[in-house]
Structures are given as structure tokens and as C-alpha cells.
């Protein structure tokens, strides 16, 4: 039976789907709560290495390693969140950036455990009963689609919950939220932990699909790319973050014929978006107003 898509197209869409999961996860911290995280790839790496180590050393199957990878990433998210959430803005960004580099360098140097620069090889693929995921990317594509649906469902439920409203209140005005009785530090930890958990889930899928993980796959550029997806799609909008991931995930493939100018065109697109629609493709008017207020405050401070 022929499929509508080729193996290459399924592979591209699977990677785009992993980007969608990462963008939705980062959107919890950046979009919902206003916590700028420049080291998000670290939690992605922790999830990938957690499943890889459990599988290679303990024979842990994928379906058990999947939640454990998320829990492991969430643990480190809360751990880095404890000292970091007390600072704001640029200081928080620098703290998370440093954490991201520490994780990458640690994985690069712990050769006895992580294989060093060569990484970990021979990671098992998922299996459902007697059906084992093959080299074909099609099963992974449908797995990623299911995970996107589950994560989106819970995030939409979160936005209409008490914690979701608290997250938005902190983003709008942290001091006012605190005065209204919102436990700011605790809610920020929830945001960091949930955001990291989603990244860990994506990491385990990535490790299972690639069957190899190396530190170079989780560098600072990846963190910036995921952040750009959230900003492009619209901060605080679940489908906006997903759309931004789809656009920035597929765009490099569409521009392959312009390989020499691909990054130039990518940069021009981002600049135009920030000039003409700073709130993102699906961003709300509220985000645009917030950006305008912040810009005015910066101009007033400069003058």
C-alpha cells in the first residue's frame, strides 16, 4: 500500500513534530509566565540521555523510559528553578543560558557514562507488542502526533485552571499577582517543572528515533531556535507556538535551493515579523500592548 508521503517527508515532519512539542513546552515558561529561558535545550538533552542510559544499562523499554525521561528533566527544571526564579529578565536569561552550557559540557566530558563527544549508540526503538518501530519514520510521525494532541489537551486545560490564571497574572504584573495572594515562587516552579517535563518527553522520542544521542545535538543554537518558534508563532498562544515550530521547521527544507542565502532569508523573515507583527502570527493584542508598554518604558529610561 503506497503512502501519500515519502520516507524523507515523514522524517522531516517527525522532526517538525518534535519541535512543536518543544515549542509548546517552552511556551509554558516564556509565553504563559514570562520567564525567559535560554537554556531549554538542556532539558531536551536530559530527557534524551535519561532514556538512553536507562535503556542501555538497565534494558528499560521506551514506554517506561518516556515518562521517566520527563520526570528526570522536570527534577532538574525545579532544581535550576529554585535559585533562578528569584531573579528576573536578563539575569534569569543568563542563569538559564549558563545551565544549558553546563549540561552540554557535562555530557561531553562524562565519557564513562555518556560516551563523551561520540555519544551513546544502539538505543532501542519503541515497540508495541510484537510490532517494533522500524527504520521508517512513519510510525514516529504518528507517535509524535499523538503526543502533541495529549500535550495540547492538557495545556488548554491548564490555561483555564487556577494555576493557568496564576501564570498569566505573574506575566502581567508579578507584584500585583503577589498582592492578590498568588504564591509567585511556587507557581514559577510549576512553570519551570512542567516546561522541563515536556522537553524531557521530546528528548526521549528524539533518542528513540535517532538511536544515538550526542552533546552537539543540544547546543545553544537549538535553545534560541525554539525560542524563536515561540516568539514567531505568538507567545502565550498554544497553537501559535506550534505554528511557529512548523514554519521554522519546514522553512529550511523549502529554502534548500537557496542554501547559500538560507540563513539570510531566515533572518530577514524574523526582522520583518518583529517590525510588523511583534506579537507573533497568532499572538494576542494583549501581548502586543505589553511589548509596546515595555518599549515605551525603555525609551523613557534611556531619555
SS (H, E, C) the chain: CCCCCCHHHHHHHHHHHHHHHHHHHHHHHHHHCCCCCCCCHHHHHHHHHHHHHHHHHHCCCHHHHHHHHHHHHHHHHHHHHHHHCCCCHHHHHHHHHHHHHHHHHHHHHCHHHHCHHHCEECCCCCEECCEECCCCCHHHHHHHHHHHHHHHHHHHHHHCCHHHHHHHHHHHCHHHHHHCCCCHHHHHHHHHHHHHHHHHHHHHHHHHHHCEECHHHHCHHHHHHHHHHHHHHCCCCHHHHHHHHHHHHHHHHHCHHHHHHHHHHHHHHHHHHHHHCCCCCCCCHHHHHHHHHHHHHHHHHHC
CATH architecture of residue range(s) 7-262:
Orthogonal Bundle (1.10)
Q: What is the pLDDT of residue 25?
A: 94
Q: What is the pLDDT of residue 154?
A: 94
Q: What is the pLDDT of residue 49?
A: 95
Q: What is the pLDDT of residue 289?
A: 56
Strand bridging mode 131-132 / 127-128: antiparallel
Q: What is the pLDDT of residue 1?
A: 38
Q: Where are the domains of the chain?
A: 7-262
Q: What is the pLDDT of residue 290?
A: 55
- Residues 213 and 52: beta-carbon distance below 8 Å: yes
Spell out the per-residue pLDDT of the chain, length 303, in tens.
Answer: 345 677 888 888 999 999 999 999 999 999 888 888 889 999 999 999 999 999 999 889 999 999 999 999 999 999 888 887 777 777 888 888 888 899 999 999 988 888 888 889 989 898 887 777 877 788 899 999 999 999 999 999 998 888 888 888 888 778 888 888 888 888 889 999 999 999 999 999 999 999 899 998 898 889 989 998 998 888 888 888 999 999 888 887 777 777 667 778 777 877 888 788 777 787 765 555 555 555 554 455 445
Return d(Cα 206, Cα 48) in angstroms, integer: 7
- Residues 213 and 119: beta-carbon distance below 8 Å: yes
Q: What is the pLDDT of residue 269?
A: 79
Return d(Cα 303, Cα 301) in angstroms, integer: 5
In Å, the largest CA–CA distance within the chain is 69
Amino acid at each position: 500500500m503506497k503512502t501519500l508521503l515519502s520516507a524523507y517527508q515523514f522524517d522531516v515532519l517527525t522532526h517538525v513534530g518534535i519541535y512543536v512539542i518543544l515549542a509548546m513546552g517552552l511556551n509554558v515558561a516564556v509565553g504563559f509566565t514570562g520567564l525567559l529561558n535560554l537554556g531549554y535545550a538542556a532539558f531536551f538533552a536530559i530527557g534524551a540521555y535519561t532514556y538512553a542510559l536507562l535503556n542501555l544499562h538497565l534494558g528499560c523499554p521506551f514506554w517506561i523510559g518516556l515518562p521517566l525521561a520527563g520526570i528526570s528533566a522536570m527534577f532538574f527544571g525545579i532544581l535550576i528553578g529554585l535559585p533562578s526564579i528569584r531573579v528576573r529578565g536578563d539575569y534569569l536569561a543568563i542563569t538559564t543560558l549558563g545551565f544549558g552550557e553546563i549540561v552540554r559540557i557535562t555530557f561531553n566530558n562524562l565519557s564513562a557514562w555518556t560516551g563523551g563527544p561520540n555519544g551513546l549508540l544502539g538505543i532501542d526503538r519503541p515497540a508495541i507488542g510484537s510490532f517494533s518501530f522500524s527504520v521508517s519514520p512513519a510510525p514516529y510521525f504518528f507517535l509524535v502526533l499523538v503526543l502533541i494532541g495529549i500535550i495540547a489537551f492538557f495545556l488548554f486545560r491548564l490555561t483555564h485552571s487556577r494555576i493557568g490564571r496564576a501564570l498569566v497574572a505573574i506575566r502581567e504584573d508579578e507584584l500585583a499577582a503577589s498582592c492578590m495572594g498568588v504564591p509567585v515562587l511556587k507557581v514559577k516552579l510549576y512553570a519551570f517543572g512542567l516546561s522541563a517535563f515536556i522537553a524531557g518527553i521530546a528528548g526521549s522520542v528524539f533518542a528513540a528515533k535517532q538511536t544515538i544521542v550526542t552533546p552537539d545535538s543540544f547546543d545553544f543554537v537549538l535553545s534560541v531556535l525554539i525560542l524563536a518558534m515561540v516568539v514567531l508563532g505568538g507567545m502565550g498562544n498554544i497553537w501559535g507556538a506550534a505554528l511557529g515550530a512548523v514554519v521554522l521547521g519546514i522553512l529550511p527544507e523549502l529554502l534548500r535551493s537557496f542554501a547559500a542565502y538560507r540563513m539570510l532569508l531566515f533572518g530577514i523573515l524574523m526582522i520583518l515579523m518583529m517590525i510588523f507583527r511583534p506579537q507573533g502570527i497568532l499572538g494576542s493584542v494583549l501581548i502586543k500592548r505589553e511589548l509596546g508598554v515595555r518599549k515605551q518604558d525603555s525609551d523613557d529610561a534611556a531619555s
